[in-house]
Amino acid sequence: MLYLLFALLDRWFAPAPPGARVEWLKTHVFAHRGLHGPGVVENSVSAFTEAIVRGLGIECDVQRSSDGQAMVFHDWDLARLTGQTGQLIDYSAAQLGKLDLTGGGDTIPTLRQMLDLVGGHVPLLIEIKSRPDLHVVPLCLAVRRVLEGYQGQVAVMSFDPRVSRWFARYSPHTVRGLVMTEGAKRTLFAQTRRHFALWQARPQFLAYDVRDLPSRFASGMRRRGLPLLAWTVNSPQMAARAAAQADAPIAEGPGVEGLGVEGLALA
């Protein structure tokens, strides 16, 4: 009975998108933070260039600089990837653009620079970073401004349901997704929380932790018509799991090679 209630509420609060609008998500392999490795730093121009050369889609992380610019960078703290102290949000875009990324010859790019580089050649997944002490609206606005006029295939996603909800309200033409992980929590309470997150976010696709697959929740959403992406596929074993349980992988390292693909098409 509870399962039927959840199914009814899912259809009401988080309806499946038109298939034609999201079909491209199912037919691409996405390089996690670009195609990075020794000498090529994650979320760098070099990593994105390598992905483009291989014909792979790109997944990247975005957060906000002190002057409100969308910057492509994963960690809140700068130490691991630049050797600098402090948090990215405390630096301006100009300051960040001068910081060298450790282990390569790149600096931190803006989202604008990345879009100019990609130019629609491959599809993009933009993960919008959030945390409880930060408002999501300024970063959502910054991303929307940069995406205006962009002609390539692009989608935004976040762990934070508020992000997808914001794009549903204020940028409905932008494809939006919810990133999820179960962390082995499959109790009724945990299941209910996942449904509440879904209803709040109103996503058009899910990006799911590959370690949690197969998942009754994820497979249910996939059957309803929400494309299911699997992250982070980083081994041949995880590549096989993603191929069996999801529509497309977000992969890195051995996971990319384990997929046995050279470029975009999965079908």
**Residue 263 pLDDT level (bands cut at 50, 70, 90):** very low
User: For residue 259, is pLDDT > 80?
Assistant: no
Strand partners of residue 40: 37
Task: Say whether 114 sits in a helix, a strand or coil.
Answer: helix
Domain 21-258 annotated CATH 3.40.630.10: no
User: For residue 203, is pLDDT > 70?
Assistant: yes
Mean pLDDT, rounded, for 101-129: 96
User: For residue 163, is pLDDT > 90?
Assistant: yes
> Rounded mean pLDDT of the chain?
94
Strands 70-72 and 57-64, sheet pairing? antiparallel
Query: Any idea which residue has 């929400």 for tokens?
Result: 226
Ramachandran bin of 16, using left for φ above 0, alpha for ψ from -120 to 50, beta for the remaining angles: beta
Q: CA dist 86 to 82, 92, 98, Å?
A: 10, 12, 15
pLDDT of residue 260: 63
pLDDT of residue 167: 98
Domain ranges of the chain: 21-258
What is the pTM assigned to this prediction?
A: 0.95
E strand or H helix at 127: strand 124-128
**Residue 261 pLDDT level (bands cut at 50, 70, 90):** low
**Residue 104 pLDDT level (bands cut at 50, 70, 90):** confident
